[in-house]
Structure 1
Amino acid sequence: MSARLTATGPATILVIAKNPVPGRVKTRLTPPYTPQEAAALAEAALADTLHMVLHIPARRRVLALDGPGLPDLPDGVPGPWLPPGFDIVPQGSGGLDERIATAFAHCDRGPALLIGMDTPQLTVDLVAGVGRDGHDAWFGPAADGGFWALGFADPARAASLVRGVPMSTDRTGAIQRRRLAEAGLSVSDLPELRDVDTAADAAEVAACCPPGSRFAATVNAFAKAGR
């Protein structure tokens, strides 16, 4: 049984994302979408996520970004979709497990929660207890068998518990969740959400996005255009 670090305050919120550049993001959306349309959907999803994060009480907000122009970004920002209030760090090299571990390494001591850019339906209420509920870890399963959120009361634990987990499989979430339990961590399970990977996912997620969603508006605009 590991020693526990009880989380009692606001978490650092990490968003791990790709710069929404055509041909590099959401390639499984093409077809029916063009690479430019897929990038527009990715940008809208990322913007929704970042603006939602602004409403979460947080010690710090960090965007771990992958894509062209990093880390030397023009004017210090990657695009107009980025609101103020985020520290930008490069994701680093390696597979997704390595990049997740690297993202957590940017955190100071204290609770930290990592989320992706693929769940624009996310609301503040779904993560309201993170950092304040006394758990050692938080886990948000995805409908495709992965996970959309992962958090630690002590982010230094991430390196050993994430590295080596096979990513992008239908067992990724189960393996990661089992690692947390086997490490003796008290885990808070967050609600299951659907990632946006395919056009069918995009339509389903858009239907449950909160009012004012940029992602839902973009999906609906493409639908009217026959996409």
Structure 2
Amino acid sequence: MADRGGAGGLPPPKRPLEGDRHGPGHLARGQRHAAPASVTRSLRPRLIVLAKAPVAGMAKTRLCPPCTPVQAAAVAEAALADTLAAAVGVAGVRPVLVLDGPRGPWLPAGIEVIPQQGGGLDERITAAFEDCGGPALLIGMDTPQVTPALLRRCVDALMAPGIDAVLGPALDGGWWAAGLRRPDRFAFLGVPMSTGQTCALQRRRLAGLGLHVAELPALSDVDVWEDALSVSADAAGGRFAATVASVTGSWVAP
């Protein structure tokens, strides 16, 4: 899970008194709105995909260079399309896309869309869990190599007896998946994102809240072009791998 915000510190989680302005239903910064009733009424586990619309100049900008903004957006669209296809393919869950930006032709049938709320990534993750309810597993669009079978195993781990949360480490020190049996707005707020210690700090936060955490498989995620090349090898046959190959081929002189 990547964001370009600052690291900051990791204050100990503090649960506010009843009526505190940062109490349940409010973010510390920014504003949010109620989720659609069709989302909040679902009893099935939610599979949340937190993503940015693949718009040139806005998505996957760390791929530039060597990519142009248009090429980076094409890679982002392919990554998002493969991720959503995997999410829709998981039986017994309700897939929800929590989106920053406009919908596009990459959006498959069978997935609900709600807007992202909040400012920093920690706020947007918190709002996504609050809007969608629980239990819920959240992933981003940076791991297009995920499969329905892998995501099913992650959901099953979350639903195992005695488990309150799950966390999937990314090889760069972040995390690619996190799940909560029930929303807890203190689980993510204030945890530094996009650092080499993000997963360790997130694990510490969850433990500090008294949650029993199950570890998910570690995956590589796509931040820079070298990551795209590596992950495409693990996602052979998908749209992401084909797009990476096409972009690479366009750089080869005739």
Q: Quickly name the TM-score band, shorter chain normalised.
A: 0.7 to 0.9
Distance, in Å, in 1 between the alignment partners of 2:239 and 2:107 is: 13
**Residue of 130, 142, 146 corresponding to 1:122:** 146
1:34-53 paired onto structure 2 within 5 Å:
34-53=68-87
Q: TM-score, normalised by structure 1?
A: 0.86
- Which position in structure 1 is the counterpart of 2:99? 65
Name the amino acid aligned to 1:133.
A
1:178 has 2:204 as partner: yes
Distance, in Å, in 2 between the alignment partners of 1:10 and 1:203 is: 35
| 1:21-42 per-position Cα deviation (integer Å, ceiling 9, x unaligned) | 0000111111111000000000
Q: How far is the alpha carbon of 1:132 from its aligned partner?
A: 3.2
CA contact (8 A) 2:87 2:151 kept: no
Q: How far is the alpha carbon of 1:226 from its aligned partner?
A: 2.0
1:148-167 paired onto structure 2 within 5 Å:
148-154=176-182, 156-157=183-184, 159-167=185-193
Name the amino acid aligned to 1:226.
W
Q: TM-score, normalised by structure 2?
A: 0.77
- Which position in structure 2 is the counterpart of 1:204? 230
Tell me, what secondary structure is at the counterpart of 1:177? helix
1:168 has 2:168 as partner: no
Distance, in Å, in 1 between the alignment partners of 2:245 and 2:57 is: 22
1:1-227 paired onto structure 2 within 5 Å:
10-67=44-101, 69=102, 78-108=103-133, 110-129=134-153, 130=155, 131-134=158-161, 135-154=163-182, 156-157=183-184, 159-209=185-235, 211-226=236-251
CA contact (8 A) 2:159 2:181 kept: no
Distance, in Å, in 2 between the alignment partners of 1:127 and 1:136 is: 17
Q: How far is the alpha carbon of 1:10 from its aligned partner?
A: 4.9
CA contact (8 A) 1:10 1:132 kept: no
Distance, in Å, in 1 between the alignment partners of 2:248 and 2:93 is: 39
Question: Structure 1 residues 12-21 or 211-220, which shifts more?
Answer: 211-220
Q: How far is the alpha carbon of 1:213 from its aligned partner?
A: 0.6
CA contact (8 A) 1:195 1:201 kept: yes
Q: How far is the alpha carbon of 1:170 from its aligned partner?
A: 1.1
Name the amino acid aligned to 1:96.
L
Alignment coverage as a number of residue pairs: 206
Distance, in Å, in 1 between the alignment partners of 2:118 and 2:128 is: 11
Tell me, what secondary structure is at the counterpart of 2:110? coil
Q: CA RMSD in A?
A: 1.5
Distance, in Å, in 1 between the alignment partners of 2:201 and 2:72 is: 30
Taking only the aligned residue pairs, the percentage that are identical comes to: 53
